[in-house]
Structure 1
Amino acid sequence: MGGTGSQGERSGAGRRRPLSSRLALAALAAYGVLLWVSRPATPFEWDEVLAQRAVLRYDVANHSPQPPGFPAYIGAAKAVNLATRDPLLALQVVGIVAALAALAATWALARRMGAPPAAAAAAAALLGASPEFLYSAAVGISDVSGTSAAVVAALALVAAAERPALLPLAGAACGILAGIRPQSGAVVLPALVWAVAAAVRGRRWRGLALAGLSAAAVAAASWVPAILVTGPQRWWSATTWHVHYMATVEQTRHLPGARLADIAYWWLSGSVFGWGFAIPLGALVIAGTVVLVRTGRGRLAALAGGAVALHLAAALFTMNETVSLRYILPALPFLALLAGGALAAPRRLVRRTAAALVTLWCLAAVAWTSPALIERRQPGPVWAALTWVKKHCDPATTRVVFDGVATPQVQYVLGRAGFQIMAIERANAFLLGPAPPGEQTLYVTPQPVPGAELLFEAHHRTRRIVQLAWGRYGSCAVSRVSDAGAALFSPEWQARKDGWRLRGTGRIELRAEARPAVVRLCAGGEAITLRRPGWPAEAIAPGRCVMAPLLPGAGGALEVSAPADSAALIPPVQVLPLAALDASSGLASAYMVPQVAHVGGYGGALWRTDLVLFNPQAHPVAVMAQFLPTGRDNEVAPTISGTLAPGQVLDVPDVLALQGFRDAGALGALLIHATAGAKACVSAGCNFLALARTYNARAVPGLWRASEWLPGVATAQALRPGDTAVFSRVTRSGAVAASVGVASWSDTPVCVGVRVLGPGGGVVETRTLELARFGHAHVPLAADVAGGKVEVELVGAPAGAIVVPYVSLVDRGSGQPAHALADTLPEHAEAPGWVPPYPAARVAR
């Protein structure tokens, strides 16, 4: 009876083994199908494009691929490419085959070192479900292939330690690893030491020698052709330069330059996409290690733990912490071996708990990665943008300025298509001269370039794919340098939802035919530097703002620099729209700012006026400002005087809060003129520029809007007797308030007539405003009108009377205003040396 039972048990076990093997092969095949159907439609990563170039033409000195060269990996892809005729597909096929080999080798290594089938299957499942492994397996980079080669080499070395006849095969496996990705070699050191120690104890000198020769021969079979194809001197120069460059650029991203807190975060959490994955995986690793040691499988625990420890020790001192999720890959099979060891526990409850945790972790990991796998079946943003340019633009007439993060992609797609391409760091000189007639300049950047015409923009829909792509290539925009008169921004500026990103030195420039403008520039969390022609560099502290003139032409451009080797995020740069200056024909020595306020309004509004003065002269200009309060005779007016330094842009926030004006009134106008000694100066050497922004401080006071600004009005553009000032597109309703204002530049009382016309031309409201000397009036309209007109005329005024009318509209919902001067007025020539009238000065004491 006993013998029959034992034979039946052995027969059942024999039947189960083929069934479990078939299930394992089915799972492996299903995983391969998943990788195949979810492979990327286009390359997305820098190294992937370099590898793709290498499949077509291998040249390490030209970074095809990047040094040192990965010759066995590229050689395998070249062989596959003979059949596929598609370098991208060839690299993906190599990656998929390597990933399947890594899963099989991980399972086999666990079984060979005594782990039960469930523990071996758990290790393979954890590796396959790991988000970065799952995502990178079908991507044309060498990381997964290197990981596969490492675990295969470790398996071969363990087998050779037990069967010395396999030493030459183990040496060959190590040679293949050296040819695919030598950076992964640290993980095989424990197995190598074990195999060598076993051979020495058994005095297998011949086997050791053959193993060394086979390793050298196999490695040389890939490296020697690679070096010869590139050229020994060129290969050596490229490799040593690359090592030096990476050591210099990344010295703060690994020990000893990196902070320990950052190292801990990136390698413990970031390498597996957050603590939600890291903590349960860490618990499994600890539990599995303990179980393996306690169940007599200490060699497996030591080999896997040693592999992980050696790889991390090397990585912490040589590899960029922010790319830890990619650089952890060679250690993942060995972490999986330790975690899977929990299923070797002798107690059923522990095994079931561990199995449940492994299952949940794998399901969560695959679910987390799935959106990225689905989305990458569509062209990536960078590839889509470049393909759009290639399809819609003529290489003979299109110049492309691109962000350096997409250098290999641009070179591969557009450079090979004959486009003239140039990296951003060379673009400033490139843009000094305008494109010849019939040609265009395009920007290809992660975000749109401010001030340029946006032609194409693509974004990843899921953030997961950006995380798996190490934070790069989540979006791409194609912008065209505008032919309009707006300010031009170089592509170092890129617009994001949370502000503008500046890397390096960005330029702000007006075309030669444009009018001058004023720029408001604010620093974000980091200091930035402003350089303007003829002036020393000016540091702008975090959170501070400055205003600077922007003059037409390349010689008047502003340059703004972010901190070295970093990018600055700043509030959007605001350029006073050129339309706000169009009402002023050139500069003048005297201006009427027709509206200034420091007063409350409808719905809790707080109306404030900021004054901006700009001295374009190479010498100081003395100026006098006189406040003309509304509803008064201003024969004598509150006066403040000052001096504008050469080239100075003076920003006076809330001008009526100044000591000389604050007690004089809350609403009115401002007369500003240049002085020489005690008299008004009317020569060209006294010309300056005046602008004013009247806004609702309850709305968004820090954000400029064109509609809030009015330029100062010179006497030549003011309203005279016989003229009619017309304001078009005026609306007054329950949603929009409308007011008419008039500021008098006359030393005698004047009468002003106001007519409001509907869209059909019929008069819907009239007003007569009596203004005292240098008086001001601001009255609301009562009649509703949509898209009507306002006409203003002087009534019975003396010949020398001068007034400046304006219209203000306010959205009652948002509190946002829109101010306007008359559409057109005839320009009146002044007699040489004529000095307009001014009130007597009352200087605050």
Structure 2
Amino acid sequence: MLRDWWLSLERRPEPLTGRQWGMVAAATLVAGLSRLLALARTPWDWDELLFMLSLDHFNVARHRPHPPGFPLYVLTAKFIRKLGFGDFHALQALSLLGAIAIVPAMFFLCRELRMRFSTSLAAAMLLAFFPNVWFYGGGAFSDVPSMTLVILAYALLFAGCRNPYAYLAGAVILAVAVGYRPQNLLVGLGPLVIATIFQIRRSVARVVSAVALLAVIIGVSYLMAAFLTGWSEYREAVRMHQAYISRTDSFLSPTRPPLWRVFDDFFVMPYHAPAINIIVCALALIAMIRSRGHVVVALLTFGPLCIASWLMLDRFSASRFSIGYAPLIALLAAEGLQFVARRTEPIVAAVIIALMIVWTWPALSIVRPSISPPVAAVDWIRNHVDARTATIYVDTGMVPFAEWYLPEYKLRFIGESQPPPSWATRQPGYYLREDASTSPHAENFIRPHKRLWDLVRQRYFEVSVRPIAEVVAFGKGWYWEEGEGPQAWRWMGARSEAALPPMPGEVRLTLSLYVPLDALGSPPNIIVRLNGATIDAFRATRSFINRELVVHARSDAPNALVI
């Protein structure tokens, strides 16, 4: 069977009838119009902001964007921006174009793989309406346009088994796809080798030209990324990013679950839609068991990317990262569907697609009309905080949002530390942070979880801005603030340090403590010191303790409190 399939690559696929062309056009139109329903009103994700920043100042060392730089993706968005689009909408327009082209590109690929007309169209429509593909096609990400380019390159290279012009075009499109995302080479290498086997018998010069075009386009793309960044800075940024991925995201990370446990994150449930996941996985499994020629080739070509993603990428972002090999999943599902449904294949495919639409729609209906929490938070700052007098203390997760939306403000990036208390800053200050705040004066910006929680990485659903009005600067030994409703508290270890503002004379110090006696072997002894002097010592025999002390504070320096 594989031999017959191989020999068929030298012939054109069976031509389509007028009615079939009409069906492809109608499917393309329907899927294309549906892409408009996924357009997000504002950016929401960290990576979107990095791409936006890269359009103004490309610098891989500053992660504008992430190493190794996505150079041709950024360049394409720059061209679109010249048409009058803003940075976000230029990137979004590029995603939209890639999303609209999914159906014709995937149909073209399936036909070149010698799949039936109905199965090819089913695969194209399934891919277009996969919840993650539909959703991320409306943002400012490289995933969907990159995927579409890979599909087109894959299809052209298979057409290039018989057509020299398609072979050269496929090599060029593959090079552009690699310039969008370097891992695309893992997918395109197999089709390139297959097409080259056919073409090298006809013209060695043509093969050399194709390989040269591929190498030159890829090489120039990433050399330009290095040049714009600076050679040594670029090399160091790539090295550090590789080390970070290995240490944090990959199977080498000590905090990552074993591979067998994250298998379902990447290949079974990249988004948590149980009915859809079960149907698609069952159909894909049937196709793999049957192992027809085009299925085997698709598995071999997409396999390296699947394995690399499983081994190296962040499992919490599998919904987005799995888009890279979503064409394989769609192809397998359509092939399994053809075997199971046979004559009712179009009807069953339509039912599955309808199920996907119904499941995904609630998520789209949230992001399309509403402002994302990070953007709402920086908008609040722009409308309520004076840039001339205030300092914005920015949590790590909000850095790119602050850099993009608050360039005229005095920004302080504080990483994992706490913002200073108001008496230490001597000027108005605000704390911009991912996650909600329990402070009574905080402004919280929250996006409903609902269906989105099952579809995307669970970040940036809650963002807060609060004025820095704390009296206490919590230091070593204290954990992050927790809260429930209007109440807030912090856990401490065996020893904690804090700083209180300078105050003259006698002052009142009030402590409210909770001691987890049920978790301790015996009641602890608690000692309280202020500026080195012991002001209280007692044995904690109760869980809830309130102490009120009159102490002598100093006015010429912060008062050091140690518990």
**Superposed pair shares fold, TM > 0.5:** yes
Q: 1:187–1:330: 8 Å Cα contact kept in structure 2? A: no
In structure 2, the partner of 1:401 is 393
Cα separation, 2, equivalents of 1:187 and 1:503: 51
Distance change in 2, residues 1:191/1:38 (3 Å): same
CA distance in 2, matches of 1:196, 1:544: 75
Q: 1:100-499 to 2 correspondence within 5 Å?
A: 100-200=100-200, 202=201, 204-251=203-250, 258-289=257-288, 293=291, 298-345=292-339, 350-352=341-343, 354-377=345-368, 378-414=370-406, 416-427=407-418, 430-431=420-421, 434-436=424-426, 439-450=427-438, 452-482=439-469, 492-495=480-483
Q: Give a deviation string over 1:543-564, Cα, whole Å, max 9, x none.
A: 9997856777xx69xxxxxxxx
Structure with bigger gyration radius: 1
Structure 1 residue 383 displacement after superposition: 0.8
Instruction: Provide closer, same or farther for how the CA distance between residues 456 and 712 of structure 1 changes in structure 2, counting only shifts above 3 A.
Output: closer
Structure 1 letter corresponding to 2:268: S
2:534 matches 1:617: yes
Residues 466 and 473, structure 1, Cα contact 8 Å, conserved in 2? no
Provide closer, same or farther for how the CA distance between residues 27 and 522 of structure 1 changes in structure 2, counting only shifts above 3 A: farther
Aligned to 2:7: none
CA distance in 2, matches of 1:542, 1:84: 65
CA-to-partner distance for each residue in 1:181-200, whole Å, 9 max, x for gaps? 01233222332232233234
CA contact (8 A) 1:448 1:495 kept: no
Residues 17 and 419 of structure 1, relative CA distance in 2, 3 Å threshold:
farther
Q: Which residue of structure 2 aligns with residue 42 of structure 1?
A: 42
Is contact 1:159-1:166 (8 Å) kept?
yes
* Alpha-carbon distance in 2 for matches of 1:189, 1:255: 32
Gaps of 5+ in 1: 1-12, 525-539, 557-615, 619-646, 654-701, 714-845
TM-aligned CA distance change 1:445 to 1:246, over 3 Å: same
Preserved CA contact (<8 Å) 1:518 1:549: no
Residue 262 of structure 1 deviates from its aligned partner by: 2.2
Question: CA shift at 1:53, angstroms?
Answer: 0.8
Question: Residues 477 and 158 (structure 1 numbering): CA distance in 2 closer, same or farther, change over 3 Å?
Answer: same
> Where do 1:465-614 residues align within 5 Å?
465-482=452-469, 492-495=480-483, 510-513=500-503, 515-520=508-513
Distance in structure 1 (CA, Å) of the matches to 2:162 and 2:516: 66
CA contact (8 A) 1:253 1:322 kept: no
The 1:37/1:281 distance shift into structure 2, 3 A limit, reads: closer
Distance 1:545 1:89 in 2: 60
In the other structure, the counterpart of 1:92 is 92
> Which range moves more in the overlay, 179-188 or 469-478?
179-188
Judge conservation of contact 1:113–1:300 (CA < 8 Å) in 2. yes
Q: Is the 8 A contact 1:268 1:278 kept in 2?
A: no
What per-residue deviation string (whole Å, max 9, x for no partner) do you get for residues 297-317 of structure 1? Answer: x33111222234222222222
Who is 2:3 aligned against?
Answer: none
| Cα shift readout 1:237-262 (whole Å, capped 9, x = no counterpart) | 21122112222222457799641342
Q: Does the CA-based 8 Å contact 1:466-1:472 persist in structure 2?
A: no
Partner letter of residue 341 of structure 1? E
Give the Å deviation of 1:456: 1.3
Q: C-alpha separation between the residues in 1 aligned to 2:421 and 2:549?
A: 33
Give the percent of matched residue pairs that are identical in Structure 1 and Structure 2. 21
Deviation of 1:502 after TM superposition, in Å, equals: 8.4
Q: Distance in 1 between matches of 2:265 and 2:447?
A: 24
8 A Cα contact 1:523 1:544, kept in partner = no
SS at match of 1:208: helix
Match of 1:720 in 2: none
Shift of 1:523: 7.4
Whether the 8 Å contact between 2:246 and 2:252 is mirrored in structure 1 is no
Residue number in structure 2 paired with 1:3? none
Structure 1 pair 503–24 and aligned structure 2 pair: CA distance change class (3 A) = farther
Assess, with a 3 A threshold, how the Cα gap between structure 1 residues 105 and 71 changes in structure 2: closer, same or farther.
Answer: same
1:170-227 per-position Cα deviation (integer Å, ceiling 9, x unaligned) = 2112211110001233222332232233234x25321210110111222234333322
What SS does structure 1 have at the residue aligned with 2:17? helix
CA contact (8 A) 1:403 1:491 kept: no
Preserved contact between residue 389 and residue 428 of structure 2 (Cα < 8 Å): yes
Between the aligned partners of 1:177 and 1:258, the Cα distance in structure 2 is: 31
Return the alpha-carbon distance in structure 2 between the equivalents of residues 26 and 118 of structure 1: 14
Question: SS of 2:539's equivalent?
Answer: strand
After superposition, the Cα gap between the structure-2 partners of 1:205 and 1:231, relative to the gap in structure 1 and judged at 3 Å, is: same
CA distance in 2, matches of 1:277, 1:36: 23
- The 1:711–1:519 alpha-carbon spacing in structure 2 relative to 1, beyond 3 Å, is closer
* Distance change (3 Å), C-alpha of 1:109 and 1:92: same
1:172 to 1:522, Cα distance in 2 relative to 1, 3 A? farther
> Bigger CA drift: 28-37 or 466-475?
28-37
Shift of 1:319: 1.5
Task: Report deviation, 1:290.
Answer: 5.0
Listed as ranges, the gaps of 5+ residues in structure 2 are 1-13, 551-563
Return the offset for 1:37. 4.1
State the alpha-carbon separation in 2 of the partners of residues 419 and 444 from structure 1. 13
Deviates more, 1:162-171 or 1:141-150: 162-171
Computed over aligned residues only, the root mean square deviation of the Cα atoms, in angstroms, reads: 3.6
Cα distance between partner residues in 2 of 1:550 and 1:28: 72
What's the CA shift for 1:274? 4.8
Conservation of the 8 A alpha-carbon contact between 1:52 and 1:87: yes
Report the alpha carbon displacement of residue 447 of structure 1 after superposing the two structures with TM: 3.1
* Residue matched to 1:651: 540
Higher RCO (CA 8 Å, separation ≥ 6 residues)? 2
Query: Matches of 1:400 and 1:330 in 2, distance apart?
Result: 38
Q: 1:187 to 1:703 in 2, by over 3 A?
A: farther
The answer to which structure has the higher strand fraction is: 1
C-alpha distance in 2 between matches for 1:506 and 1:35: 54
Residue 306 to residue 176, structure 1, CA distance change in 2 (3 Å): same
Query: Matches of 1:547 and 1:493 in 2, distance apart?
Result: 24
Q: How high is the TM-score relative to the length of structure 2?
A: 0.83
Q: Greater helix percent: which structure?
A: 2
Distance change in 2, residues 1:541/1:396 (3 Å): farther
State the SS of the aligned residue for 2:441.
strand
Contact 2:526 2:538 in 1 (8 A): yes
Aligned position for 1:83? 83
Kindly indicate whether the alpha-carbon contact (under 8 Å) linking 1:255 and 1:316 is maintained by their aligned counterparts in 2: no
